[in-house]
Amino acid sequence: MAAPRIAVTGRIPDAGFELLHEAGDVVAWDSLDVPTVNEVHEMVAGAEAVLTLLTTKVDDAFLDAAGPQLKVVANVAVGYNNIDVAACARRGVVCTNTPGVLTEATADIAMALVLMSTRRLGEGERVIRSNTPWQWGMFYMLGSGIQGRRLGIVGMGDIGQALARRARAFGMTIAYSNRKPVAPSIETELGAEFMSMDELLTTSDVVSINCPYSPTTHHLISSRELGMMKSSAHLVNTARGPIVDEAALVEALRTGEIAGAGLDVFEAEPTVHPGLLECENAVLVPHLGSATVETRSAMARLAAHNAVNVLNGVEPPTPIPVPAI
């Protein structure tokens, strides 16, 4: 029997290839540029397994281009809003993602953004880099302390919980909003209080978005929600850009409706709303949540493990739940 064709639609760390080369004939996109849709479709034609990056759109056109022999789409990311999971399920294609291995790295970036936003570190860096004259001063560039302040976590999955642990170590108290409460033992460990979104928004000093993106969470944070937040509060988003209505956020930052924002993700990545670039009170970083050498290797390894298991007829370690179809 011919070895299965395995396509990889973006550059991934070498660690991912060890398993793949043993399992089949690998064709991998070999550039740091994102391939065009046509380039992806050419690459996946005839593949039984495809490893995708979050910049790869997996829809009916992709599945048509791949062909009926396709067995698995293994996303090298925890978020999978780039994949039409229902369309895959209709064709019997298994989808997998990489939860767990990027939890700590992403929580680190979320905590970093909490600190950067509340302590005005982006603004401070820009002063020095632009050669703007400055002088230590009793009242110069004061931020707000986070000790004893409330962090409201929207989406208490693995990353939300890892952020809560970090924030507790910094002296913050934790509130969260989620589809359902987490186990009482976790609530106790994190000292976390479950509450409605509205209560969380009105009472938190920092609101952090840690939920997945789906049609239900599209613009979950828009003018109404920003209007409910304290004028001294900060918003942090390390999940997916379109969860926040970026135009409404620009307005809220401009008018002082909220004090600041720390964003790792954007609505139309890699484009950033031009209004955000003008907001001194916005800290903007280019989707670096899982960007450590160790984490990216672990993600590639896990995605390869998922793909190879499906090719071998074995349950993959981290399948994406199949939606009802």
Active-site residue numbers? 240, 269, 287
Contact segment (CB under 6 A) with ligand GLV among 1-9, 60-68, 73-81, 274-282 equals: 73-81
Contact segment (CB under 6 A) with ligand GLV among 5-13, 34-42, 74-82, 114-122 equals: 74-82
Contact segment (CB under 6 A) with ligand GLV among 17-25, 76-84, 123-131, 307-315 equals: 76-84
Taking CB under 6 A as the rule, does residue 102 contact ligand GLV? yes
In the chain, alpha helices (H): 17-23, 37-44, 60-66, 85-90, 103-118, 121-129, 158-169, 184-190, 197-203, 223-228, 246-255, 274-278, 293-311
Strands 192-194 and 206-209: unpaired
Q: How far is the CB of 290 from ligand GLV (least distance, A)?
A: 5
Taking CB under 6 A as the rule, does residue 77 contact ligand GLV? yes
Q: Kindly state the greatest CA–CA separation across the chain.
A: 75
Q: How far is the CB of 212 from ligand GLV (least distance, A)?
A: 9
Binding residue for ligand GLV, selected from 117, 290, 309, 318, defined by CB under 6 A: 290
Nearer to ligand GLV, 78 or 233 (CB): 78
Taking CB under 6 A as the rule, does residue 78 contact ligand GLV? yes
* Rg of the chain on CA atoms, in Å: 21
Closest CA to 124 of 108, 140, 112: 140
Instruction: Tell me if 80 sits within 8 A of 52, measured CB to CB.
Output: no
Binding residue for ligand GLV, selected from 10, 79, 262, 316, defined by CB under 6 A: 79
Task: Report the distance separating Cα 112 and Cα 117, nearest Å.
Answer: 8
- Amino acid symbol at 281: N
Q: How far is the CB of 239 from ligand GLV (least distance, A)?
A: 8
Nearer to ligand GLV, 252 or 298 (CB): 298
Instruction: Tell me if 81 sits within 8 A of 315, measured CB to CB.
Output: no
Nearer to ligand GLV, 10 or 79 (CB): 79
User: Tell me, what DSSP letter sits at residue 295?
Assistant: H
Distances (CA, A) of 257 to 66, 223, 283: 48, 10, 16
Q: How far is the CB of 16 from ligand GLV (least distance, A)?
A: 14
Binding residue for ligand GLV, selected from 10, 16, 262, 289, defined by CB under 6 A: 289
- With residues binned 3-state (H G I as helix, E B as strand, rest as coil), the percentages for the chain, rounded to 5, are 40, 15, 45
- Number of amino acids touching ligand GLV (CB under 6 A): 7
Instruction: Tell me if 320 sits within 8 A of 85, measured CB to CB.
Output: yes
Nearer to ligand GLV, 77 or 226 (CB): 77
Taking CB under 6 A as the rule, does residue 54 contact ligand GLV? yes
- Interface residues toward ligand GLV, by CB under 6 A: 54, 77-79, 102, 289-290
